[in-house]
Structure 1
Amino acid sequence: MATTRPWHSPVITGAGRGLGRAHALAFAAEGARVVVNDLGVGRDGRPETDGADPARAVVREIRERGGHAVAHHGDITTDQGAASLLDTALDTYGGLDTLVNNAGFLRDRMLVNLAEDDWDAVIAVHLKGHFLPLKHAAAHWRARHRAGRTPVARVVNTSSGAGLLGSVGQSCYTAAKAGILGLTLVAAAELARYGVAVNAIAPAARTRMTEQTFATAMAVPNDPDAFDAMAPENVSPLVVWLGSAACTACTGRVFEAEAGRITVMDGWRRGPTEDRAARRTPAEAGRTATRLLARAPAPLPPYGTR
């Protein structure tokens, strides 16, 4: 698919399993030289004891298919780890065109049972884990622009339906994923002058993070010829396109991607409004709000309430 080339090296966080792995393989299939980042932790972000190295496993898989990839095991929730991620791309392949922020894990609890440490850990991996790689990549691209070599650079952030609508039992995950949407909008506005497009996806697919919640809906079909609607590979083509030079005049947008469906999300838009040049009493404000609510469409319900 020549329209998506060229890349120096897409950098993909959390690329050892699930969606990240599917993205890495899809980019490599297009001829990209991929930096595969993964700490190799469990579904809850805690260390695994089986000695697995998913980043190296994906690198090996790419190389066995004739592609180019390198593993990175740094912690992208730390400034040093995020900086070394970008250095790996520059030192190994001499360039950086695409950053796919994907890393994450879950520590689900109802709000009243959620520990502060679990909140901090989930916010760190999802939100801070987007911010730090993006900050270092943006600094690199800004320096190139100032040197007269404006890049054609792309960032793909990973939000979630939880970030768009909320999800019962996932307050910290929802808050982080909603924050990623805000970060995407700001980064798109700030980095456009440097040749950088920043977009986000809200994917739904079968991964370690979703297999317990959506076990029935996300089961692999018994018929090997049937379309596996929840395979993570269904999301990756959109990510590859968003991460390529072929993606033009598109920044600051959010796409839902699930099975064979791609949706451009509208985001927050002003709905019914009443304005007057005077301060309202609380009772007047209440009457105004009630009239406006009657004219507004009902919001979509959070996941877990349907």
Structure 2
Amino acid sequence: MSGLCDGRVTVVTGAGRGLGRAHALAFAAAGAKVVVNDLGVGPDGAGGSPGPAQEVVEEIRKAGGEAVAHGGDVATADGAASLVATALDAYGRLDTLVNNAGFLRDRMLVNLGEEDWDAVVRVHLRGHFLPLRHAAAHWRAEAKAGRTPVARVVNTSSGAGLLGSVGQGNYSAAKAGILGLTLVAAAELGRYGVQVNAIAPAARTRMTQTAFADAMAAPDDPAAFDAMAPANVSPLVVWLGSAAAAGVTGRVFEAESGRITVMEGWRPGPTADKGARWTPEEAGETTLRLLAGAEPPRPAHGAS
């Protein structure tokens, strides 16, 4: 165990499988006590079972760590409130929240139904907002009581949220929304000792194996570096969730294989100011001239 998170209590949502499981195990290995949240649903959000969360808890305990399971729906107010309460009841504190829960219902836009839109936006975006709100309320109360926390939030976006992804309009919109939420939360909660960052990971999970089977395949040689293993993303998440990340907030990181990239987001490019109102023709001519000097956009994932 590294000891980087000794004495800290970490909540990880969607921690029964994939990235969430890897994060939970990595936090436990770093000394944290972990609340493992998972509904145990299928890749499309159907069904449910307490099994995956409990299996991760048992894995952590067998390795000498401490963990408890939480099976509530974090996209509901009651589920998010009970998530925070579980950490406080079990361990008396909450230091780090890792928002990770989600599933996919991929469709091209012309075939994307309202139910599939609402379900995916709900689990990803609402499922980030509600745990964050309840954790933030606790941390604000602590700060106002003179016990300013060293609190950390790590949100999970995606390359789909940064660039868009063909066939994933619902998922891309939700993941882009998480980026906006991250920036607002970082600005609002810093006064209470809370740092908020986001990652855009790429790894082999149930969600990616279907869409990117070849790219996500495990190596044939067991001794070879598994570039797409979820555990490759977790060290950055653990560091962001630790006290060692002091001063790092409002940032977005891509994490994949052995690569970490600081994403710089929307920044002003070429600009023109007439000092008066444009005519439509002038606006068009000027815009074309500005575009000629601008960096071309990166294509959406899956675009031909």
Same fold flag (TM > 0.5):
yes
Task: Find the residue that maps to 2:301 and give its secondary structure.
Answer: coil
Q: Does 1:247 align with 2:245?
A: yes
* Aligned match of 1:287: 285
Runs of 4+ in 1 over 6 A off after TM superposition: none
The equivalent of 2:31 in structure 1 is 31
User: What is aligned with 1:219?
Assistant: 217
| Amino acid paired to 1:41 | V
Q: Indicate which of 191, 194, 199 corresponds to 2:192.
A: 194
> How far apart in 1 are the matches of 2:4 and 2:61?
21
Percent of pairs identical after alignment? 74
SS of equivalent residue, structure 1 residue 216: helix
Quote the offset at 1:5 in angstroms: 2.8
2:60 alignment partner in structure 1: 62
Superposed displacement of residue 106, structure 1: 0.1
Amino acid at match of 2:100: N
Answer whether contact 2:9 2:91 (CA < 8 A) is retained: yes
Indicate conservation of the 8 Å contact 2:157/2:200, yes or no.
Answer: yes
Does the Cα contact within 8 Å between 2:37 and 2:69 map onto a contact in 1?
A: yes
Q: Distance between the aligned counterparts of 1:279 and 1:52, measured in 2?
A: 61
TM-score by length of 1: 0.98
Give structure 2 stretches of 5+ with no counterpart.
Answer: none
AA aligned opposite 2:276: A
Taking the aligned partners of 2:233 and 2:147, their CA distance within structure 1 comes to: 32
Going from structure 1 to structure 2, the CA distance change for 1:52 and 1:138 (only over 3 Å counts) comes to closer
- Evaluate the alpha carbon distance shift between residue 196 and residue 52 of structure 1 in structure 2; reply closer, same or farther with a 3 A threshold: closer
Task: Give 1:248 deviation, angstroms.
Answer: 1.2
Aligned twin of 1:40 = 40
Residue by residue over 1:76-131, the C-alpha shift from the partner in whole angstroms, topping out at 9 and shown as x without a partner, is 01000000000000000000000000000000000010110110000000000000
- Of 256, 276, 280, the residue aligned with 1:278 is 276
Deviation at 1:4, TM superposition (A): 2.3
The Cα of 1:7 is off from its aligned counterpart by 3.8
SS in 2 for 1:251: coil
* Separation in structure 2 between the aligned mates of residue 3 and residue 284 of structure 1, nearest angstrom: 61
Give runs of aligned pairs for residues 17-166 of structure 1, distance below 5 A: 17-48=17-48, 53-166=51-164
Contact 2:3/2:31 (<8 A) preserved: no
How many correspondences in the alignment?
A: 304
Cα distance change of structure 1 residues 96 and 52 upon mapping to structure 2, 3 Å threshold: closer
Where 2:198 maps in the other structure, the secondary structure is: strand
After superposition, the C-alpha distances for 1:203-233 in whole angstroms (9 at most, x for unaligned) are 0000000001111111110111110000000
Structure 2: distance between partners of 1:248 and 1:10: 17
SS for the counterpart of 2:9 is coil
Residue 15 of structure 1: aligned partner? 15
- 2:165 and 2:301 in contact (8 A); partners too: yes
Output the CA distance in 2 between the equivalents of 1:27 and 1:140.
Answer: 21
Q: Which stretch shifts more, 130-139 or 52-61?
A: 52-61
Secondary structure, aligned partner of 1:296: coil
- How many angstroms apart in 2 are the aligned matches of 1:57 and 1:44? 21
Determine if contact 2:40/2:50 at 8 Å carries over to the other structure. Answer: yes
TM normalised by structure 2 equals: 0.98
Tell me which amino acid in the other structure corresponds to 1:29: A
Give how far 1:3 is off. 6.6
